[in-house]
Amino acid sequence: MDLDLATKRIMITGAHGFLGNKLLSELQARGIRKLLTPRRAELDLREQTAVRLYLSAEHPDIIIHLAANVGGIGANLRNPGTYFYDNLIMGTILLEEARQIGLQKFVAIGTICSYPKTTPVPFREGDLWIGYPEESNAPYGLAKKMMLVQAQAYRQQFGFNTIYLMPVNLYGPGDNFNLETSHVIPAIIKKIDQAQRLEESEIILWGDGTPTREFLYVDDAVQGIIKATEKYNDSEPVNLGSGSEISIKALAELIAKEMNFKGKIIFDKSKPNGQQRRSLNCSRAYEKFSFKAQTKLEDGLRRTIDWYLSKVSEQEQS
């Protein structure tokens, strides 16, 4: 039977981040009021005693674990140890303490960075263990992947209901536009905007432009997470994606067109490409809980660009 989320106390970790804000807003719009959304200052998920005390006091029915310490290729290369430890320990502690209080359901949000470097395209969940992840983000990907191992072990031994979802690269209004830690879409948007404001004739992007990526609009990701929380109760991991693959070069050209940027797009081939191809098979999500992405990339990019430019304008006027 589907879970009636309106009757549940739902804890969302990372509720004030990019994806978390959107999920929180959607749940509130559906009239769900029993929501726990601790900030890091209130609850450090790396501290087991703090997590134990919080869960014992608040006793949620469902936890949706979105919190992560993550960045783009550059940030991954600079912080492999931090990203490994923080993400591993957060997932490990939260799952264990949630089991101890008899939580009804744990929704673990993983990452497609967990897939092996040489995964056949499109990525299928059954290929998750055929090799080692792409080196630039392997520590982060493996740390998040351990939640799947722990979840399946806990289901087998304790009957603990944990599901594991793997969203593809997310984007949309509210994304992180800090060039030190942002992912590719907000980074390109910001670089083009900066070039236009400074009247520069080119932007420089990492790699050679040939790698491909799949992107999922953040509102679609929210719908997938909610559907899975309501309907999915199995141990196997599930991809969440759009089913559309695009090269970084084509993506940059598309964003440049949307922003009316006439300058050159130069690729710095001395910088790493990351994984060469990423595209998901999303049939399991449709079969298990009827999820299918609705937003076309062009439409999502337009909304994201408009949001970013409006925020820049607000900052200039303030």
Apex 306 CA angle, 209 and 37, nearest 5 = 95
- The three-state secondary structure class of 171 is strand
Query: Mind giving me the DSSP string for 39-67?
Result: -TTT--TT-HHHHHHHHHHH--SEEEE--
- Strand extents, DSSP E, the chain: 10-13, 35-36, 62-65, 105-109, 162-167, 169-171, 202-206, 212-217, 238-240, 245-247, 264-268
Q: What percentage of the chain's residues is helix, strand, coil (to nearest 5)?
A: 45, 15, 35
Q: How far apart are CA 159 and CA 154, in angstroms?
A: 6
- Of the residues 140, 154, 171, 308, only one is catalytic, namely 140
Burial class of residue 99, CB neighbours in 10 A (0-12, 13-18, 19+): middle
Q: Confirm if 127 and 115 have CB atoms less than 8 A apart.
A: yes
In 3D space, the residue among 62, 75, 170 whose CA is nearest the CA of residue 108 turns out to be 62
Three-class secondary structure of residue 90 per DSSP: helix
The answer for 41, left when phi > 0, alpha when psi is -120 to 50, beta otherwise, is alpha
Q: For this structure, is 140 an active site residue?
A: yes
Active site residues: 140
